[in-house]
Amino acid sequence: MDAPFTPDEMMTIAASRALGNDDICFVGIGAPSAACNVARLTHAPDITLIYESGTIGTAPDILPLSIGDGELCDTAVTTVSVPEMFRYWLQGGRVSVGFLGAAQLDKFGNINTTVIGDYNSPTIRLPGGGGAPEIASSCGEIFITMKQTLRGMVEAVDFFTSFGHGLGGSDRADLGISTKGPTLLITDLAVWRPDPTTKEFVVQSLHPGVTQDMVQATCGWVVRFADDLSVTEVPTALELKTLRDLKARTEAAHSGEAA
Amino acid sequence: MDAPFTPDEMMTIAASRALGNDDICFVGIGAPSAACNVARLTHAPDITLIYESGTIGTAPDILPLSIGDGELCDTAVTTVSVPEMFRYWLQGGRVSVGFLGAAQLDKFGNINTTVIGDYNSPTIRLPGGGGAPEIASSCGEIFITMKQTLRGMVEAVDFFTSFGHGLGGSDRADLGISTKGPTLLITDLAVWRPDPTTKEFVVQSLHPGVTQDMVQATCGWVVRFADDLSVTEVPTALELKTLRDLKARTEAAHSGEAA
Amino acid sequence: MAKFQSLKDAVAENLNDGDIVAFEGFTHLIPHAAAHEAIRQDRKNLTLVRMTPDVVYDQMIGMGMVDKIIFSYAGNPGVGLLRRMRDAIENNWPKALEIEEHSHAAMANAYEAGAAGLPCAVFRGYKGAGLKDVNDNIREITCPFTGEKLAAVPSVRPDVTFIHAQKANKRGDILIEGIIGVQKEAVLAAKRAVVTVEEVVDDFEDVHVNACILPRWAVSSVCVVEGGAHPSYAHGYYVRDNAAYVEWDKIASDRTLFREWMQINVLDVDENIFVARINTLKGAA
Amino acid sequence: MAKFQSLKDAVAENLNDGDIVAFEGFTHLIPHAAAHEAIRQDRKNLTLVRMTPDVVYDQMIGMGMVDKIIFSYAGNPGVGLLRRMRDAIENNWPKALEIEEHSHAAMANAYEAGAAGLPCAVFRGYKGAGLKDVNDNIREITCPFTGEKLAAVPSVRPDVTFIHAQKANKRGDILIEGIIGVQKEAVLAAKRAVVTVEEVVDDFEDVHVNACILPRWAVSSVCVVEGGAHPSYAHGYYVRDNAAYVEWDKIASDRTLFREWMQINVLDVDENIFVARINTLKGAA
């Protein structure tokens, strides 16, 4: 019998499975960081994790609170300057997967982490793009992970912090962007992939126990489900233990206790 | 009574005197390197010597045979990459004095180390400019040192490897170059400085024992001598000993013996 | 040429009202003590530059010292938003704040171009991104060989940059190790540079030949402030005070609470307070 | 992803006739052994790229393998001129050599731009210099903010780069220390990269956090060739063989003498000869 697990754990573990041993992965903070490190600690021990602080090939024992924690540097193959990171490693085309979170996301994988409302007189001023605009255009492909909410998954983003597939179709290529863009969205309820032609995200699999209604109820656009809709494989005992141990070590370290 | 000395020694020592303790000096190889290190070992112990191999603040015990010898790195404050050297330190305007040698030089301080004859079918193919074109434009000012010969000091250089004062006057500023360019020429016979207006090199002092005829006989342009022409101060015992010890250590090291 | 002096003197001599100023640090080595001294000296009408403005810029904005901010990510790392900065942008409190917003790639390139003495940075970026529609300092430049359109932004050239580093040697050379961020570029791009350090050592003989070292003639002032990065961290000295970052979210959420905290923890003290703040954070580093 | 293999196999798999190839090294760490293997495998119609072509490029040009060279300083460091390269340029022997000549600043920027994935490099250079009149690959670009005219050159993007480094670890990561030149850029700018190393160590645990390390996935092949930089040097292993550079000047001065030397010292041997060449040069390093 499988252990019970939370939607958040399912999201992180499903995301981790998308990463391979040979991937060079540019890691955003939060959920992407957990997924990338679970992958490293399970099926992809040789994956290269890069954080925008300049740490290349890092293998943290605990999850960093920020993208510049000391743990990332201590365990990295090397740590380079931030200009070098963005010029040689990201812009240089050396990164296979960029893993991003989102405050607002639309069905074409466009991400907003800049403002809610008008840019010049925003309702809510969010932190901004950081590395995301060029992560989105320079990495071979983009994986996105976020929890579903009506506020987060919207028909149209208030601001194009980073470009996904624009208004769909060939928008991306038309702008002269040669990378694939968003190829995967993993939420706490489902796994989505873009339609090959329209580029709209289509639900490929529902996490165990999730219904189509639940997905639609927490998504601001009309959801498309794949004809061969499947159920996401449940987390294995190893995956769950790995994630929970990682979170426990992280909790202990960040509250000042020995891990 | 002063010790006897060679014209070459006088040249190096006179050149060394032009450098100050606070100078940040980009050092070409050959005579400039000897002069810069004599300055460091006598009156300018805190001078910063930079070689284009990326070594910053180097203090070699022996003279390097090339601009990338290990001795330069071993004794440097830090060693950076060559792109960083040319971008941050040279182009960034951090260097006060660039010290160059020359295969061919004209009276306006233009240097040729590229070709003798036509560029596309040269009589003699020289090594080329290396760092010199941007050293000449980016350093606060330029000192030049070379032995006088009719082949070397010519009415017009065959090729503008690095730009001095062009055809004189305001040529340099007219090209949008804001640095001073050549402000000093030290040969084995004399010390020269450009006329403030025409920018033509004018002999300021003759080395001890040198006559105006000797200077003209080894110079391909009609030489101007300053109204208040003086005699270069003879090398002090300390200067001579410092230079000779440096050369002896260098000789010993490069022939494989212990210094 | 670096002179060793007190932080108070270094700020007084190098930071003027109306300056463009960068207090740089990428999570690591953020110069908190220097920023607090600037707050105590009540500098006005500053333009702040930083890739990742966090708590110190939130504090300076909340104190009304800032006219404009040039940045690429304004968050409290691992915690959330910057509430004082939001209050300025959304409600003009305590005064309006002009923003010039970029991506990290653009800012990193702009510092790099500044260090390189260039007027602008050229890179491949902002493709499809909304910022280029709201920021006139994002333009295009065409490669004269391929015809490709590239992005251009003005280089960053601060009047003065403040950084925190691990060590100076007795001559005034500066050693930075670990996550080095854009600190070298921020110093070299600036007219003047003030560096606070954890300690002064005799020399750097045992330091790696290619380590990130700023020679003494590339900085204006060196000030010893042990713990001067707190609640940020100094690799090899002390770890990040995550609790302080979490606490800041509460403090900054209320204007009165914010002002009280600033009075007690910044205005009424001096930089000597920092050494005590890292007491429990050593050892783990 | 780096694979450990013999130099012979690495050259066979990575270097093709007609390739644009860089054997980089700035006085230090020049990949002589790799270049000699390329000579033994008799590659043709190469375009060679290097800031400071010296003895190895003189040898390859003299052997008739080279159609074109892109460079910024062609000399025998500390000795004089390159006689085989001169013979090719002045007398078309053994065949004509096309040259594309730049300054060091341009080449360094061109490698940097190649590593950064850009089509061109932008810098302030060539002011008043004659090269821009004889090289159509030196053009102007205008800063869209200040109107300043800057120089532009195409980025360097070799088909394959060869470098020599001190160490690989067992995973295939590469460590370069000392005068690092443009080697990192030359590797990252290239489609493929072959690295010869002095030795393989278990790991880089004791190496400085900011040392120049190329991760294994940034290189194609790693080959252990002890002494593989001779007569150049490897910081920490052996010193420069200055006598060999002086000797080269004599060898290269005569076409027959040159060919005889190449037959005996390159064609009739393999890379295992290099370890003996550094015997008397260790210790002092």
SS percent in chain A: helix, strand, coil, step 5: 30, 25, 50
User: Does D256 reside within a domain?
Assistant: yes
Q: Residue D284's pLDDT is what?
A: 57
Cβ-in-10-Å burial (0-12, 13-18, 19+) of D56 comes to: buried
Chain D positions touching B80 (Cβ under 8 A) are: 180
> Most D CBs within 10 Å: which of A26, A53, A73, A78, as the mutation test of the D interface?
A78
Q: Which pLDDT score is estimated for A259?
A: 30
Instruction: State whether D149 and D259 are in the same domain.
Output: no
Q: What is the mean pLDDT of residues A190-212?
A: 98
Catalytic residues of B: 52
B27 by DSSP, 3-state: which? strand
In this prediction, residue D285 carries a pLDDT of: 52
Position C285 scores a pLDDT of 52
What is the model's pLDDT at position B258? Answer: 36
Q: Are C135 and C250 part of one and the same domain? A: no
Rounded Cα–Cα distance for residues C28 and C239 (Å) = 9
Comparing CA positions, the residue from A76, A103, A219, A224 lying closest to residue A161 is A103
Q: β-strands B190-194, B201-206: how paired?
A: antiparallel
Torsion sign over Cα D255, D257, D262, D263: positive
pLDDT given for residue B65 in this prediction: 85
Our CA-based measurement puts residue D149 at a distance from the nearest CA of chain B, in whole angstroms, of 9
Mean pLDDT, residues A101-123? 95
Tell me the pairing of strands C46-50 and C66-71: parallel
Domains and CATH numbers, chain B: 7-254 (3.40.1080.10)
Residues 6+ apart with CB under 8 A from B62: B71, B246, B249, B250, B253, B254, B259
Strand, coil or helix: C44: coil
Catalytic entry in A9, A52, A71, A200: A52
Residue-level pLDDT at C284? 57
Specify whether D123 is located in the same domain as D198: no
For D39, the enclosing helix (H) or strand (E) is helix D32-40
Query: Cβ separation of C280 and A82 shorter than 8 Å?
Result: no
For residue D108, is it within any domain? no
Measured between its terminal Cα atoms, the distance across chain D in Å is 31
Query: Has residue C108 been placed in a domain?
Result: no
Provide mean pLDDT across the span D132-149: 97
- What predicted TM-score, i.e. pTM, was given to this entire model? 0.97
pLDDT band at D14 (very low <50, low <70, confident <90, very high): very high
Closest partner residue to A77 (CB to CB) among D1, D117, D173 is: D173
Decide: C196 and C233 in contact? Cβ < 8 Å. Answer: no
Q: Flag whether D98 is in a domain.
A: yes
Q: How confident is the model at residue B28 (pLDDT cuts 50, 70, 90)?
A: confident
Pick the residue of A52, A81, A110, A171 with the most C CBs within 10 A to test the interface with C by mutation: A81
Return the beta strands (E) in A80-218 as ranges.
97-100, 104-105, 111-112, 115-117, 122-125, 141-146, 182-187, 190-194, 201-206
Residues of chain D positioned with their CB less than 8 A from the CB of A48: 215, 217
Compute the nearest-CA separation of D121 from chain C (Å). 9
Does residue C66 sit in helix, strand or coil? strand
Residue C206 belongs to a domain: yes
Question: B148-169: buried (b, 16+ CB within 10 Å) or exposed (e) per residue?
Answer: beeebbbeebbbbbbbbbbebe
Q: Could you tell me if D161 and D270 lie in one domain?
A: yes
Confidence of residue A66 (pLDDT cuts 50, 70, 90): confident
What are the CA-CA distances from residue B156 to residues B73, B111, B117, B153, B197 (Å)?
A: 38, 10, 12, 9, 19
Q: Which residues of D190-229 are buried (b: 16+ CB within 10 A; e: fewer)?
A: bebbbbbbbeebeebeebbbbbbbbbbbbbbbbbbbbbbb
Percent of chain D with pLDDT over 70: 99
Query: Could you tell me if C85 and C218 lie in one domain?
Result: yes
CATH assignment of the domain containing D172: 3.40.1080.10
**pLDDT confidence of residue B257:** 40
> Cβ(C166)–Cβ(C175) under 8 Å?
yes
In a domain, residue C107? The reply is: no
Contact across the interface for A134 and C103, Cβ inside 8 Å: yes
Classify strands A190-194 and A201-206 as parallel, antiparallel or unpaired.
antiparallel
Residue D193 parent element (H or E): strand D192-201
- Look at C280 and A256 and tell me if their CB atoms are within 8 Å: yes
Q: How many whole angstroms separate alpha carbon C109 and alpha carbon C103?
A: 10
Answer yes or no: is the ipTM higher than 0.95.
yes
Q: Quick check: B1 pLDDT over 70?
A: no
d(CA A101, CA A88): 23
* Cα D25 from Cα D183, distance rounded (Å): 6
Residue of C nearest to D213 (CA): C210
pLDDT for position B188: 97
CA B213, distance to chain mean position in Å, is 24
More confidently predicted of B1 and C69 = C69
Residue D65's beta-bridge partner residues? Answer: none
pLDDT confidence band for D77 (50 / 70 / 90) = confident
Read off the tokens for D249: 């000047």
Which residue from A minimizes the CA distance to D117?
A92
Q: CA D137: distance to chain centroid?
A: 21
Are A131 and C185 in contact (CB < 8 Å)? Answer: no
* C163 lies in the same domain as C146: no
Q: Which residues of chain C have pLDDT under 50?
A: none
Structural domains counted in chain D? 2
Interval D30-53: pLDDT, tens: 999 999 999 999 999 999 999 999
Kindly state the average pLDDT of the residues B141-157: 97
Q: Please check the confidence at residue A3 and state whether its pLDDT lies above 90.
A: no
D219 and D246 assigned to the same domain: yes
Query: By CB neighbour count within 10 A (0-12 exposed, 13-18 middle, 19+ buried), where does A116 fall?
Result: middle
Q: Residue C24: its pLDDT value, please?
A: 98
CA D219 to chain A, closest CA, distance in angstroms equals 11
Residues D261 and D126 in one domain: no
Using a CB-CB cut-off of 8 Å, the residues of chain A touching C122 are none
| C-alpha dihedral sign at A147, A149, A151, A152 | positive
- Measured between CA atoms, how close is A27 to chain C, in angstroms? 14
Give partners of B (≥3 CB pairs < 8 A): C, D
| pLDDT range class, residue B160, cuts 50, 70, 90 | very high
* C142 vs A: CB within 8 A: no
Task: Give domain status of residue C262, yes or no.
Answer: yes
Give the number of A-D residue pairs with CB atoms closer than 8 Å. 44
Report the pLDDT averaged over residues A70-91.
96
Q: Note whether D255 and D212 are same-domain residues.
A: yes
Residue A258 pLDDT > 50, yes or no?
no
Q: Is residue D173 part of a domain?
A: yes
pLDDT of the residue at D203 = 97
The boundaries of the domain holding residue C141 are 117-154
Domain shared by C121 and C207, yes or no: no
D156 neighbors D22 (Cβ within 8 angstroms):
yes
Residues D44, D96 within the same domain: yes
Contact (CB, 8 A) for C167 and C24: no
**What would the mean pLDDT of B223-244 be, rounded to a whole number?**
97
A52 carries an active-site annotation: yes
Q: In which band, very low, low, confident or very high, does the pLDDT at D126 lie, cut at 50, 70 and 90? A: very high
Q: How confident is the model at residue A28 (pLDDT cuts 50, 70, 90)?
A: confident
Reported as a single tens digit per residue, the pLDDT across C73-91 is: 999 988 889 999 999 999 9
How do residues A127-177 score in pLDDT, each as one tens digit?
999 999 999 999 999 999 999 999 999 999 999 999 999 999 999 999 999
pLDDT band of residue A74 (cuts 50, 70, 90) is very high
Residue D144 forms contact with C (CB below 8 Å): yes
**To the nearest whole percent, how much of chain B has pLDDT over 90?**
90
Burial class (CB in 10 A: 0-12, 13-18, 19+), C255: middle
Average pLDDT over residues B105-123: 96
- Indicate whether C172 and C274 sit together in one domain: yes
